[in-house]
Structure 1
Amino acid sequence: MGWCSLSPTIPSSLLYINSTRSLRTLHLNGNHFGFSVFHWLFNLSRINTHLVDVDLSYNQLKGPIPDLFSNLKHLAFLDLSWNNLQGRLLEKLRDLCSLQVLSLGGNNLTKKFNSIVQTLSRCEHMELQALDLSSNALWGSLSDSGIFSRLSLLRQLDLSWNKLDGAISEDIRQLSKLEYLDLSCNSLEGEVSPGHFAGLSRLQHLSLANNHDLVLNFSRNWIPPFQLDTINLRSCILGPQFPKWLQSQTNFTYLDISNSSISNSVPVLFWSLLQPNLVYLNMSHNNISGTLPDTPINFAFFPLIDLSSNSLERAAPVFQGNVRALILSNNMFQNVVPLLCPTTHLMYLKAIELSNNLLSGELHSDCWIYMDRLEILHLENNNLSGRLPSFYGLENLKSLHLRNNSFSGGLPSSLKYCRSIVLLDLWFNSLSGCISPELENNFPSSLLVLSLQGNNFLGSIPLSLCQLSSLQILGLSFNNLSGAIPKGINCLLGMTETPDGNRTSQGSLSIDYDYTYGGIFYSVEYINTKTDAASLVWKGTEISHMKKLRLVKMIDISSNAIEGDIPDTISFLTGLVSLNLSRNNLTGSITKKIGRLSSLESLDLSSNQLSGQIPESLSSLSFLGVLDLSNNNLSGEIPSGTQLRGFDPSTYVGNPELYGRPLPRKCSRGQTPVDSPTEKSFEQKDDDDDSDVFPWLYISIVLGFVTGFWGICGTLMLGYRSRL
């Protein structure tokens, strides 16, 4: 009855089980059961003493389990994973000597691993074969002598995502039956040598990933005793030489040695050993040099291959076309034609990532004829030139990144064949001409992101652009556009969605590659965090947003020659997060309805010719964190309240008739600064007081001086005359 979403209390339909004395298997995983399920289970166990298999995973169990758990003497399979169990849980299991499989991953266990082993090994004849303690907070070292000898029957051991540290004891080689070992995502360190694996001839799955100070120190002549199916050594130290022992592994379907300090070339023999059943290959973020072989490799399961962030050069490899995703960014590839313009066979590629290379030359119009499955294409930050090729045949394309190249000419009408496109990024090329008035016919309704910044487009913004009802990010900055902002801008319904998600996005930029092979489930994300990046300019700085696109709504039309008013209809775009209309020729006043843009976080209207007062409604935008109204003709007092008066004075400079905090002074056009009314009321009072006090002070001083002078002189003269 797993994954039935039953209520937290035990349904009456299960109570009849209490009268069943022969129950052996009980699966209630994936429901919402709380602590009360334990009381029901132990009442059941008093009658049903032969329970062998209990699965309560993915529920809402919290705290410790009762002592009565030890009554299940015949229990062989126990799965309590992905709950919130804690406390003295493992001490209650010490008498379950029939346990063969124990799964406690995804809880909140905080014990020392050595004490757990001691608890589980108290039975004289322990039968434990699979132990999963992953995703807890276990601590301690794996270097203690004898720590693994007590678990000699183990076939599977998963201690990943804990807080284990120190070196790994060579005693691990005593686990001679071990087939699955996962120690990834801990803080293990020290060296791993051939001695650790001397007795592990049955090992098929090895994962030591994300132990950044763990060094795999094997001689070049070492031949492992095992044949691995899964090898995950990401972010361990394998280099600087390419690990030669990998050439002895001829059965692996999953290999990840990314970020492992490898800095030489890959032996040619290694590529010939890749098997048709490969599903994932990742050697990214090393310093691997040289070229890739041109020999065809036929894969059966359409793998994802990631060789990005290395020093590979020359032509991008083809891999015979039956690869699902090929990630080659941040290398030194120069020739992309063999990959993008095949001439002999169909390509099964869904994603190609070739950004940040040395690609140059033109893309021919027949490049895509064999790539009808392509969904994501990254060619940004290269030196590709010429006109944009025809996009005929790319009906499944979702995300196209061509920014920062040297493409010229206009937008091809063939983009209309990309009926599934979600993101179009052509930022910083040399594209020119007018944006077609028939834009809605050239772009499908699925378009979420349109980025045309940094080109040479002319003419006005076509009204037809407003018919792209799903559009959520619009970038037209740094062009030569003129005319007015279309009043029909309120038809961009995709920008009316608020962060609460009142509207549903029409597209997604995520592609997941899921493989099931040999009982192992792989899920590999091509786009990090299931998002794609979109960029905008805030105060002249490019910012890359990695939020999910349904939460990011942006318009950037800055640095053009747009004129006229800001239309009131823009206030209907209530989901806007960023609005940048700066460095244009906009006139008129700021619409009083701007306060309706309740989601706005950034507003830049600087360097225009806007006049009038700042609307009071602007002070109601509680999320506003970036504001620039500088270099306009705004006048009057800045609206009161901390929201607007809390910004830096640079927000308002260059508006001679604007006053109020945070501006200290009011300036009249063509005059030197004079005091603002508020300041003047205090300073004038001081001036008036001074004007009254100082004249009388001077008179008093003079009179005092005259009186004193003649008083003294008169006395002396009278005395002198009396002596005469």
Structure 2
Amino acid sequence: MALKFLNAIIVFLLNMNWGIGDYTNIRCIESEREALLEFKYSLTGESDWLSSWGDEDGKEECCKWQGVQCSNTTGHVIKLDLKAHDLRGKLSHSLMELQSLEYLDLSFNYLVEDENLKWLSYLSSLEYLDLSYVYLYKANDWVEVVSGLSKLSTLKLSRCYLPTRNLSPSFFNASTSLVTLDLHQNYMSLSTSSILFEYLFKSTYKTLVSLDLSSNNVNGLVPSSFGKMVALRDLDLSDNQLEGMVPESFGNLCSLRSLNLSRNHLNGSLAFLHNFSSCANSSVLEILRLHSNSFSGSLPDDLSLFPRLKEIDVGNNYFNGTLSSSIGNLFELEILNVPSNSLQGVFSEQHLSNLSRLRILDLSSNSVTMKLSFNWFPPFNLEFLSLRSCKSGPYFPNWLATQKNIRYLDLSGNGIIGTIPKWFWDFTPDMHYLNLSKNQIHGRLPMLPTKFPSLLVLDMSSNSFDGPLPPFPTDLTILNLSNNFISDSIMSFCNSKSMLFQYLDLSNNQLSGVLLDHCVSRWTRLQFLNLANNYFSGEISSFFDSLPHIENLNLRNNSFSGELPWTLRTCETLKFLDLSDNKFSGNILHMIGTRLLSLEILIMQSNEFKGRIPLSLCELMDLQVLDLAENNIFGNIPQCFKSLRTINLSGNNLARKFSDIISSLYALNVLNLSRNNLAGELPQSIEEMTQLMSLDLSQNQFSGEIPMNLSKLAFIKHLNLSYNHFSGRISSSVQLKRFNADSYIGNDALCGPPITQNCPLEAPSDEFKKWLYIGLAMGFFVGFCGTFGSLLISRTWRHAYFSMLFKLKEWVLRRFALYRAGIQWSLQKGG
């Protein structure tokens, strides 16, 4: 007994670090050292972080290894922290030997568990477990195992691809003391009535402080049982499929500090926020994120219930009404995001004058009017300001001159008129994003590299800027100057040092010149290029060599000339190509269909292309729009365009019967074959083009009657069959009645509404002939009976028979007269 007491005193003194013995010399347990080495040797690559682990002299003491911590008294490994050290391979089960382990973090590595997590159940002392980004897709026992770790307070299994099949309810017998649970980005497709939720609401509702189930496809209604988790401080259910209203029981969560319900399908009002009034000392809520849902109604009028709010993010919903001036009492507010709603009214100094900590303000895409006095001096210094589609004009906001830290500025569509004040170009050197588009600003652009050297995105489109193109900052990646009056040679732009362009839109200006190789060769990162509606000219022989990543290319309405170069084949990522209204010539390249396999839209109209349509275009499985109109293309239309939505081949010399190609056009929405040499009759099978919305076959050589089945095209909005050789009566169907005479003019043998030419008197219809024949047959029979039956029957019966014969004759003649009258009336009315 005395010996045990002495040992206890020694251990106590060691723990108190009173100098009895040298606890730093306590060696790790041999079996645990071997377990750690086995874990290391199971990895597929050597990590520098584990270089201190080994059997060599000087490396045997595992308590000194990187990421390992041992108990000062027992020598057992109690902490293993290998977070984010590029470890790769299978997760070795040897770690089950570390049965005194309290802290295990293997997160953010490249580890895989191919079997189950049963080995974890041996680590009964675990209090902290983080296996985030460890691949656990086969670990069907994960819920049962972790719920059996009774001392576990922190569990983080984010992006582990956890399975939800075969979840067992047996773990309900276990009691845990979980404080933090993070399962985000597992995409588990959970129902809100699933076993996992039952576990949360029955076993952890008293202890849980932080819960993150974001990005898990959680569906169904938000359970009202969340209101029982009164200790909860952080709740994240964002990026799921939740629907319905937020339960009013959320108002019981007086300890809630952060609530994130963004990107779901939630709706209704924010009535649950009013319930926070029951909290004794007002709510401690600091972060409220509800964006990208279907919430509606007004925002709370009295935000004094939440005096500690630092972030309000309710963008992309259906909120209406005005923004309450009580926002001005949120002295801690740093972020106010309310974009893309239906808010109205005035946003004034009363909202902003007390918000000294405000960093981010986004009121964009609302009908809000900014009413701030010209000399107003704000108490804050913004980093992000977006007022897109608000009304801050007509003058440029003078208060911005005080915002020296602003990096993101969007004043697009603000009704600003006039020039940009000089102070603007010097007020902040750290601008990264600048959008002043869709205003009425005029003047010239300054030397931007000296004004905004860090600029990455610049959008000045749809204004009245003029003069030459200035140099641009070196790191600029997105530039949009479209819809202005900039007039200059492209040469000055080519001399710019900017080389990182990914998006470049100079369309609808007055730019000119030839795109020289040394200019385009600097645009190797371009994905979007729009030079449409300018005065560019010359050939583009080496143009495409420098655009290996281009996806969208628009050269419409310039004076480019020459044949398309074979270097076009290098643009294999191209999805949209518009070369229309230029002077390009030569054949349509065969390799467009063999190399540009991502092409979705191909527009080459109004050029000088010639030859036949290459059959290789049929290989473009993603092609939706094909426009080769107004060229010199001849031959037949290929019979293989089955995935297209729009075809425009008008104004060429194509010659083929329409019936030969219709079998491949059933998916079309728009078809224009006008001004060609197409002939033949329209087949009845045209009714199978059920998606057709626009059909133009004008100025061809079509003949025969217009098929009655054309009226079965339920979606057709535009029809032009003019100037062909169609004949016969135009159908009187409701579907075709809405088209005016212009749709049929120039077909001399057509008659009937809506054109003025009357149809000739027609022979009796089949129905009339049927009744006529019936009447004649009955008349013959009755006459026969009247003539020969008189020898057999009495005078009274003869009288009755002849009376019936007379009435039948009158009935037949009356029907015929009515039929004739109907024809005449129809002709008098025009059809």
TM-score with structure 1 setting the length: 0.73
Report what 1:502 is aligned to: none
What do residues 167-207 of structure 1 show as CA deviations (whole Å, max 9, x unaligned)?
531x4333222221123344444444445333322222111
1:455 to 607, 611, 630: 607
Q: Are 2:297 and 1:139 aligned?
A: yes
* Structure 1 residues 3 and 654: alpha-carbon distance in aligned structure 2, compared to 1, 3 A threshold: farther
Instruction: Give 1:326 deviation, angstroms.
Output: 0.7
Q: Is the 8 A contact 1:237 1:261 kept in 2?
A: yes
1:153 counterpart residue number: 308
Decide whether aligned partners of structure 1 residues 561 and 677 sit closer, same or farther in structure 2, where only a CA change above 3 A counts.
Answer: farther
* 8 Å Cα contact 2:593/2:619 also seen in 1: no
In the superposition, relative to structure 1, how do residues 604 and 407 fare at CA in structure 2: closer, same or farther (>3 Å)? same
Instruction: Give runs of aligned pairs for residues 191-210 of structure 1, distance below 5 A.
Output: 191-210=346-365
Superposition deviation, residue 225 in structure 1? 2.5
Q: Which of the residues 366, 369, 372 maps onto 2:521? A: 369
Q: 1:116 aligns with which of 273, 280, 291?
A: 273
Distance of 2:451 and 2:418 partners within structure 1:
26
What residue number does 2:442 align with? 289
Q: Which residue of 2 aligns with 1:609?
A: 701
CA distance in 2, matches of 1:263, 1:240: 5
Normalised by the length of structure 2, the TM-score is 0.64
Residue 51 of structure 1: how far off its partner (Å): 1.0
Counterpart position of 2:456: 303
Q: Name 1:490's counterpart in structure 2.
A: 639
Q: CA deviation at 1:477?
A: 1.9
Quick one: which amino acid aligns to residue 397 of structure 1? I
Alignment counterpart, residue 408 of structure 2, candidates 236, 254, 265: 254
Give the alignment of 1:222-371 within 5 angstroms: 222-275=376-429, 278-296=431-449, 303-335=456-488, 337=490, 340-342=493-495, 345=497, 347-371=499-523
Query: Which deviations, in whole Å up to 9, do the C-alpha atoms of 1:568-601 show, x marking residues without a partner?
Result: 2453344333221112222334467656645433
Which residue type is aligned with residue 270 of structure 1?
A: F
The change in CA–CA distance for 1:395 and 1:195 in structure 2 (over 3 A counts) is same
| Amino acid corresponding to residue 420 of structure 2 in structure 1 | V
User: C-alpha displacement at 1:634, in angstroms?
Assistant: 2.9
> What's the counterpart of residue 547 of structure 1?
none
2:351 partner SS: helix
CA-CA distance at 1:153 after TM superposition:
1.4
Given that 1:93 and 1:120 are in contact with CA atoms closer than 8 Å, whether structure 2 keeps it comes out as no
- Report if the CA contact (8 A) 2:395-2:417 is conserved: yes
Q: Which amino acid aligns with 1:448?
A: E
Structure 1 SS opposite 2:331: coil
CA distance in 2, matches of 1:563, 1:246: 65
Superposed CA deviations along residues 509-562 of structure 1, whole A, max 9, x for unmatched, are: xxxxxxxxxxxxxxxxxxxxxxxxxxxxxxxxxxxxxxxxxxx52221212343
Number of aligned pairs? 612
CA contact (8 A) 1:568 1:591 kept: no
Deviation of residue 87 (structure 1)? 5.0
Q: Partners in 1 of 2:189 and 2:483 — Cα distance?
A: 46
Aligned residue in 2 for 1:579: 671
CA contact (8 A) 2:649 2:673 kept: yes
Match of 1:217 in 2: 372
Aligned-residue offset at 1:352:
0.9
Aligned residue type for 1:256: D
- 1:270 aligns to what SS in structure 2? helix
Alignment check: 8 A CA contact 2:276 2:305 kept: no
Contact 2:613 2:633 in 1 (8 A): no
Q: Paired residue for 2:650?
A: 558
Q: 1:618 to 1:18 in 2, by over 3 A?
A: farther
Which of residues 473, 481, 503 is equivalent to 2:625?
473
**Aligned partner of residue 588 in structure 1, secondary structure:** strand
Give the Å deviation of 1:371.
0.9
- TM-superposed deviation, 1:314: 1.4
Q: What is the alpha-carbon distance in structure 1 between the residues aligned to residue 817 and residue 343 of structure 2? A: 78
Corresponding residue number in structure 1 for 2:321: 165
Q: 1:290: Cα distance to partner? A: 1.4
Distance in 1, matches of 2:584 and 2:201, equals 77
Matched, 1:626 2:718: yes
2:487/2:509 contact within 8 Å kept: yes
Q: Which amino acid aligns with 2:312?
A: L
Q: C-alpha offsets along residues 66-88 of structure 1, whole Å, 9 cap, x if unaligned? A: 3x544322111123445545457
Q: State, as a whole percentage, how many aligned pairs show the same letter.
A: 34
Higher relative contact order (CA 8 A, sep 6+): 1
2-side partners of 1:37 and 1:347: how far apart?
53
Shift of the 139–635 alpha-carbon distance from structure 1 to 2, 3 Å rule, reads closer
Residues 361, 176 of structure 1: alpha-carbon distance in 2 compared, 3 angstrom cutoff:
same
Q: Check the 8 A contact 1:375/1:396 in 2, yes or no.
A: yes
Paired with 2:354 and 2:708, the residues of 1 have a C-alpha distance of 77
* Partner Cα distance (2:624, 2:165) in 1: 46
Instruction: Select which of 235, 238, 255 maps to 1:78.
Output: 235
Q: Which residue of 2 is the match for residue 707 of structure 1? A: none
Query: Based on CA coordinates, which of the two structures has the bigger radius of gyration?
Result: 2
Equivalent residue number for residue 250 of structure 2: 93
Partner amino acid, structure 1, of 2:394: P
Query: What residue ranges of structure 2 are gaps of 5+ in the alignment?
Result: 1-156, 773-812, 821-831
Equivalent residues of 1:19, 1:47 under 8 A apart = no
Partner of residue 505, structure 1: none
Which residue of the partner structure matches residue 674 of structure 1? 760
Matched-pair contact (CA < 8 Å) for 2:320–2:344: no
- Determine if contact 1:22/1:48 at 8 Å carries over to the other structure: no
1:436 and 1:109 mapped to 2: Cα distance?
53
Once residues 200 and 681 of structure 1 are traced to their aligned partners in structure 2, the CA distance between those partners, rounded to angstroms, is 85
The answer for unaligned runs of 5 or more in structure 1 is: 498-551, 667-672, 693-724
**Higher alpha-carbon deviation: 351-360 or 368-377:** 351-360
Cα deviation per residue 1:309-354 (whole Å; 9 max; x = unaligned)? 11111123442342221111111111252565236x4611111111
Moved more, 11-20 or 372-381: 11-20
Q: Is the 8 A contact 2:283 2:307 kept in 1?
A: no
Structure 1 residue aligned with 2:558? 405
Residue 233 (structure 2) pairs with residue 52 (structure 1): no
Cα contact 1:288–1:311 (8 A) shared by 2: yes
Deviation sequence 1:687-722 (CA, Å, 0-9, x none): 9969x9xxxxxxxxxxxxxxxxxxxxxxxxxxxxxx
Contact kept in structure 2, 1:568 and 1:593, CA below 8 Å: no
Amino acid in the other structure paired with 2:324: I
**Does the 8 Å CA contact 2:180/2:208 hold for their aligned counterparts?**
yes
The reply on whether 1:422 has 2:575 as its aligned counterpart is yes
Secondary structure of the 2:654 match is strand
Q: Determine if contact 2:444/2:467 at 8 Å carries over to the other structure.
A: yes
